Structure 1
């Protein structure tokens, strides 16, 4: 096998993945509870994939209710080496049109009601989020998207809002002034947790609308994005298959950013003061760094 085991987190509209050989479905229980849904595993050639619908099949979970910690932990426990997020988003800039894709490389986290770390009292960790996306994985995903006909913008800032309501006009204008490129509800704390789990993470943000800042465009509603979302979902499925095919015969090497060993520089609690209960809980995502 190639050594790649891709975790695919499917966002709005992407609740299943086609084309998998040796397909199997299995439920997982993590120290942070169950993930959004059962994991679906399989392979495309020699590349293994594990798919998880972020909102559950049928879109049962709000952005706030998504069990982000359990989702990332479940993928880590399944042996995933890299995580690709597919998510719907709104455009905050004229040049990002509905139907296009932004391979975001920065985030602004405006969520307020979510558990954002695996660590806590008894074992404190501070990971760097200066470069929140794996540059290599992001480039590979963007290449795959372009190969199947998608228009990709490489790089961009994704603002994560709490939701589930869409932005007010004042908020939308403010985020544009901040220089944000797209807005969504789900990539945070997902990216932070992936980093804590030492998993290279990248996102393909699929634009469905212009939020509400554009004077000559109707404000975003669920009904007026469904058609674009369906097109985006079909494109995402093709891109995932293309990505897997492109990795066949390409042995996986470590992320050039050192993501797989980032906890070596993040754990601050003195070893003799670390809570054994926390150590046992964290072995699922940080066993390498903790030596357990």
Structure 2
């Protein structure tokens, strides 16, 4: 089964035919909300709003471990994450969709692993390729079928939030090789890998990162909301095609 983890701007899937909702309990606490079961394009999926269905959970307070554990417990094998990002690279203008292939983790203080020394032996997880290539390829193929433009590849910088970055911080991210900046990419991707889940991200560029484009004197948050609303319509179309292309 495939699950969709919605981020900012995607607290609900309007094209999802909901069949039931289920409150979950995990050894790591409660997920961001009840799991929403339904069909998308006639195919069964599970949807979970990462920040809660009222968008009340800040990026650094998301219970990533509970979210991933609950999805795994319900038989999920593949997760498509939707994340809003700021564009650093010149071609990542607001409204662009990109499927990143690498990630840099700048977060801190988050519960970032299931290997916590309490009930399982220490293991080391290969994270050379943080996103599952087969799932990335499926999303890109679906984008061509659905005629939704997506850029292939990019480095996602995961920062702490919830505040946005300074120009100097974005300059550092760019020097490190980052193409976009978001707040929820880690530890979510690493936790999915630890659980053996396929995982890929659809990154929606909703603003220029600080010091880029029209964000040299600050990010217009009202405009970010308008861009997010528009680009998420394309995300919904793409997700429906991804689900149709999915198979066990």
TM-score (norm 1): 0.80
Aligned ranges for residues 56-205 of structure 1 at < 5 Å? Answer: 56-122=52-118, 123-205=121-203
| 8 Å CA contact retained: 2:5, 2:79 | yes
Instruction: Identify if the C-alpha distance between structure 1 residues 175 and 77 changes in structure 2 by more than 3 Å, giving closer, same or farther.
Output: same
Aligned counterpart, 2:24: 28
| CA displacement, residues 31-77 of structure 1 (integer Å, 9 cap, x when unaligned) | 10110011011234663211000000121000001000000001001
- In 2, the alpha carbon distance for the partners of 1:223 and 1:196 equals 37
Deviation at 1:194, TM superposition (A): 0.2
Q: CA deviation at 1:79?
A: 0.5
Are the aligned partners of 2:41 and 2:240 in contact in 1 as well (CA < 8 Å)?
no
Kindly provide the CA deviation profile for residues 129-175 of structure 1, in whole angstroms up to 9, marking residues without a partner as x: 10111111111112223433432111110000001111111011111
Query: For the residues of structure 1 that align with 2:149 and 2:135, how far apart are their CA atoms?
Result: 17
Aligned-residue RMSD, C-alpha: 1.6
The verdict on how the C-alpha distance between 1:16 and 1:215 changes in structure 2, with shifts beyond 3 A counting, is: closer
1: CA distance between counterparts of 2:14 and 2:35? 14
Equivalence for 1:241: 240
**C-alpha separation in 2, matches of 1:23 and 1:216:** 43
Q: What is the SS of the residue equivalent to 1:64?
A: helix
Q: Which runs of 5+ in 1 are unaligned?
A: 253-292
Contact 1:41–1:51 at 8 Å: present in 2 too? yes
CA shift for structure 1 position 116: 0.3
Inter-CA distance 65–244: structure 2 relative to 1 (3 Å threshold): same
- Whole-angstrom CA distance in 1 between matches of 2:143 and 2:221: 25
The alignment covers a number of residue pairs equal to: 245
Moved more, 134-143 or 40-49: 40-49
1:45 and 1:213 mapped to 2: Cα distance?
Answer: 40
The yes-or-no answer on 1:40 pairing with 2:36 is yes
Asked if structure 2 preserves the Cα contact closer than 8 Å seen for 1:142 and 1:204, the reply is: no
Does the CA contact (< 8 Å) of 1:82 and 1:199 recur in 2?
Answer: yes
Q: Is the 8 A contact 1:100 1:150 kept in 2?
A: no
Any idea what the Cα deviations from partners look like across 1:261-288, whole Å, max 9, x if unmatched?
xxxxxxxxxxxxxxxxxxxxxxxxxxxx
Flag the structure with larger Rg: 1
Give the distance between the partners of 1:45 and 1:239, measured in 2 at CA.
Answer: 11
Contact (CA 8 Å) 2:192, 2:198: kept in 1 or not? yes
